[in-house]
Chain A
Amino acid sequence: MYELARKALKMAEKAGAEEAEIYYAANHSTGVNFKKDSLDNAKDLFSEGIGIRAIVNGAVGFASTNSARELENAVKVAVAEARVRENDSDWVGLPSNGKYPTVSGIFDKKVETLELEECIGYAMALVEGTKELPGTRPTSGGFTRAKGRQLILNTNGIEIEEESTAVSGFVDVITVNGQISTAYDFAVSRSLDIDFFALGKNASDLALKSNGGIKIEAQKTDVIFHPFAFSDILENALAPSIDADNVQKGRSGLIDKIGEELAAPELCIYDDGLVEAGIETSVSDDEGIPSQRTTVIEKGVLKTYLYDSYTAGKAGVKSTGNGSRSSYTSPPSVGLRNFIVDYPRTDVIADTHSGVFVNTIIGAHTANSISGDFSVEARNAFTIKDGALDKPIKSLMISGNAFELLKHITGAGLDVRKVGGTITPSIRISDMSVIG
């Protein structure tokens, strides 16, 4: 379909589009997966398609297809849809060519050319890692490598093409003796710099340490969230409120808060499409706006919301390069790039007299994405006593509010981790309410 992209742009103009955009995306991934400790399957997935935005009289139509035979029809449907709609006075126009940055580390030839046997080797390393410590075994997991190619064309002259690679490993383990406890570990990277054996071993270690959990009293205490747990809360309870689309539609808890000090004074949060080898790094966003680094929170003060080209036009500001698409089948909407949490880092557990350490949480997606309220179940949680992890906790519910939480940050660990696009250390919050 790649070779049809330029033709599709011409077809859209011919069909009557005043402006048009073609978004082409292709992805080839290979995964090797295990169940218990033996390999179960290998998967080779090829996906490829085109999404068309057509604009007539300030109204947008969208259609997509993965079939060359349907492309012409899809283009016509996109134009016809635009005609059905009323003029949208907030529509400014498709992006125009900008000055594009150079980014690095997002494509690794070695990943592209990996043989199946090598993929099998990495999957086996995950399994072998879990065997390093007796008393656990894997339940499921796998290794995946992927290569993507993206092309954005529009009638304002944008023509951006980019290739990228990614690898990931995931492992889930369970204890085999005594009480049942489980744990998982995963990592995603642009190149083969992941220690898959160590992921397996870490997961086993955590499951073993979590065995024989105790019950604790309901209380308010210091809680340290591992990067897995903290990123989960940020993405579900905070990020929706800095999305300019939600702000403009009255669905954000941060409306009219620009310039306000809403977080601990030493906290900075950046949205950055340029991070070396970042999972969300690319030359442009998914509608051709040059990627940039945006300061969202500076020394505790909210500086900006995140915009795609439409919401920026509506607000009369510049897009922050956050036009994002989950696939060629959807038009762009506001999405996070690499989301970086920065706070002065120390050996935060050692600095904590008493409290709770939480590795992962379940239920973060049930948070109230507007008010920021959340109530989650903590997994692989431990008590902290005199600056060290002490006893595993069997069951723990944590309730709070994402905005309050930002105000109560009192520490960060040395353990900065890339959790997909979110890059954060462990974060300590004072006065969290926990129910054991």
Chain B
Amino acid sequence: MSIMQDIKFYDCRVIEGSSTSIILDNGKIEEISRNFSRGAGVRALCGGSWGYTAVEGEIDLKHGVEAASKLAFSMNANTPKEDVELAAVNPPKIDNLPEIRIDPRNVAIEEKVDLLKSIEASAKVEGVSSTRVIYLESEFKIGYRSSDGLDCAYELLNVGFAVSAVASENGVYQAGRESRFGYGYELFETENVLELAGRAGNTAVELLKAKTPKGGEMPVLLNQELAGVFAHEAVGHASEADLVLEGDSILENRIGEQIASPLITIIDDPTLHEFGYYPFDAEGSQSRRTEIIRDGIFNSYLHSRETAAKLGGTPGNCRAQGYSMPVVRMSNTFIDNGDARFEEMLEEVRDGMYLIGSRGGQVNTGEGIFQFNAEKGYMIKNGELTELIRDVSLSGKILEILNHVTLVGNDLKMTAGRCGKAGQLVPVSDGSPHIAISKALVGGA
């Protein structure tokens, strides 16, 4: 009882869901697996300390609140610090859920297996030696309640697939990958999945003949997916206010400053029906669009209630994987359209590299350094695409690259993925139009 008097805030997230995965590998079903889960995460705040308890299975919320409160109380008693304030929130409106035309739960598992088989057949173009197709479907219901009086819930159902193909020749192995994720089984109609699968197969085969170029500093043209990874990894993470408050972001104290070419506008928007969609975040804050960079000027961090109160801003980007403790995260992050045409951009780069796709990346937000690997690319000579290249990576300083953007295309495209931070993966999407950069460090042979 005495402890609860010192707890000035607590909240609970209860999550219930199920998921299905099917893996078809080299023509054989390797795995059909289903998971049914429920659990809850409870936060309590005492002075400047948080206590957090997560429990799987059957949940006694009263007990959970007590346990989290006890942790917060002990932490505050042992190492008291400045009180944490939370920005105010209003009950969220939930009127923008993605519409689902075909509920995947009404599709028989045999039909899903047949679909995977046809996807795999399309990926198995001449020269492909190994294929793998994964189908994922998950539905979950999230309920949120807080001592501020919020009580809200939503259900979401998503579905998607990933295909990979491997080609080999004389001990060289190359892979091609494609994936799509969305909100209804109609995804498999609206996206041309068989064509995508064929593209994965063709990429693998083509890459066998590709050369590994000599690395160095040069002008580059990034395709939508790779530029999207740059927006997410290099700019998005550094704008997460929790990292800023830890003193681990080069974007600290830069609001209002010109940090990028005036051609660059970067937006995070969880209200879009892309893979990073949510109606309210893990603190019950209404999701909203944030302009991180507008016309090259750094405009806003991404916030939780705690960081919004500390730095001044609006919450709405606090997210969690399952029952984990929520942290500041991105949603759908993209570089907004400019007006350059692809041919113009090739001409602008003139002699350099066109880098396509991404095998992932990493960033050191404190030092402002990033590294990521392209799936493939082409040499650009005299403003024309020439030979195919592979094993190319891009690295550099975030702020330098942002200032070296010379053209932004008009062909914005989003890609679904999962982003890792604090040991948690959450669904996101990122995107961009093509962008031309006057100088970047490319790694190769």
Contact = CB atoms under 8 A, between A and B. Distances in A.
Interface string A33-71: 001101111111111110000000000111111111110
A180 B74 contact: no
B357 to A, nearest CB: 11
Given A44-B52, A139-B246, A373-B391, A117 B74 contact: yes
B154 interface: no
B166 A251 contact: yes
B49 A77 contact: no
Given A42-B75, A44-B71, A250 B366 contact: no
Nearest to B33: A62
B79 A120 contact: yes
Given A44-B67, A65-B37, A366-B361, A397 B215 contact: yes
Contacts of A39: 49, 75, 78-79, 81
Interface residues of B, number: 81
A88 interface: yes
Contacts of A64: 33-36
Contact of B38 (A67, A85, A124): A67
Given A120-B78, A218-B216, A366-B393, A42 B372 contact: no
Given A43-B325, A366-B393, A375-B391, A329 B216 contact: no
Given A331-B31, A331-B33, A368 B171 contact: no
A60 B110 CA distance: 15
Interface in A248-306: 249-253
B376 to A, nearest CB: 11
A214 interface: no
B215 A363 contact: no
Contacts of A415: none
B88 interface: no
Contacts of A389: none
B246 A330 contact: no
Interface in A102-148: 116-117, 120, 124, 137, 139-140
User: Could you say which of B29, B212, B368 has the most chain A C-beta atoms within 10 Å of its C-beta?
Assistant: B29
A48 B74 contact: no
Nearest to A379: B364
B29 A36 contact: no
Given A42-B51, A88-B28, A120-B78, A140 B130 contact: no
Nearest to A44: B53
B444 interface: yes
B75 A330 contact: no
A81 interface: yes
Interface string B345-385: 00000000000000111111011110111000000000000
B16 to A, nearest CB: 9
A84 interface: yes
Interface string A313-332: 00000000000000001110
Nearest to B56: A66
A150 interface: no
A61 B74 CA distance: 46
Contacts of B54: 43-47
Interface in A64-91: 64-70, 73-74, 77-78, 81, 84-86, 88
B372 A363 contact: yes
B39 interface: yes
B92 interface: no
A306 B143 CA distance: 44
A366 B375 CA distance: 10
A46 B323 CA distance: 10
A431 to B, nearest CB: 13
Given A42-B71, A124-B79, A180-B366, A368 B35 contact: no
B258 interface: no
B1 interface: no
Contact of A371 (B50, B53, B174): B174
Interface of B: 25-26, 28-29, 31-39, 48-58, 67-68, 71-72, 74-75, 78-79, 81, 109-110, 113, 129-130, 132, 166, 168, 171-175, 212, 215-216, 242-243, 245-248, 250, 323-325, 359-364, 366-369, 371-373, 391-393, 395, 397, 441, 443-445
10 contacts: A39-B75, A39-B79, A41-B325, A47-B54, A70-B38, A363-B372, A366-B361, A397-B215, A397-B443, A435-B215
Interface of A: 1, 32, 35-36, 38-49, 60-70, 73-74, 77-78, 81, 84-86, 88, 116-117, 120, 124, 137, 139-140, 172, 174, 180-182, 218, 249-253, 329-331, 362-363, 365-366, 368, 370-371, 373, 375-377, 379, 395, 397, 399, 433, 435
Given A41-B325, A370-B173, 17 more contacts: A39-B78, A41-B50, A41-B52, A43-B52, A44-B52, A44-B53, A44-B54, A47-B56, A64-B33, A64-B34, A66-B39, A70-B36, A218-B216, A249-B130, A368-B391, A370-B166, A395-B397
